[in-house]
Amino acid sequence: MSHRMIPAPGEPTSALLRACLILGGIAGAAGVMLLAMSAHVDTSGLVETAAQMLLFHAPAILAIGAISQTRQSPFLGYALILMVAGLALFCGDLVIRAFADRRLFPMSAPTGGMLVIIGWAAVILAALRIRSR
């Protein structure tokens, strides 16, 4: 593989890059859909907050995948898992509260928020321990 961030056609892609492209795309699409919904049906602001979190983190998820193509650190995979799990809990709880007037489970949004923060800490650790491929 060349030193480009994204492989050329025919070059192998890492499983982490593939996962990041899929999950980053899902986060971005869900964020746009939720933001559109918030403009029409949500008066609580919860859906807008969930949409913003997804849209803020979609590029970060894509960046983790791109960086994984030229640099190696186990913390990149941990960062992805933590961010995605955290976003699912945080945003899922907010959307359920907005539309069903109940919680996903007690403390799901704060737990999700903490997982996202720990995911960002994993990005910092990846930067400190990163190696060239």
Q: What pLDDT shows up at residue 133?
A: 66
49/47 Cα distance (integer angstroms): 5
pLDDT in tens, 75-88: 999 999 999 999 99
What's the pLDDT tens digit per position in 87-119? Answer: 999 999 999 999 999 999 999 999 999 999 999
**pTM of the predicted model as reported, rounded to 2 decimal places:** 0.88
Cα–Cα distance measured from residue 88 to residue 82, given in angstroms and rounded to the nearest whole number: 10
**Residue range 19-70, pLDDT digits in tens:** 999 999 999 999 999 999 999 987 899 999 999 999 999 999 999 999 998 8
- pLDDT exceeds cutoff 90 at 14: no
| 131, β-bridge pairs | 72
In angstroms, the CA 58 to CA 66 distance is 13
- 3-state helix, strand and coil shares in percent for the chain, rounded to the nearest 5: 75, 5, 25
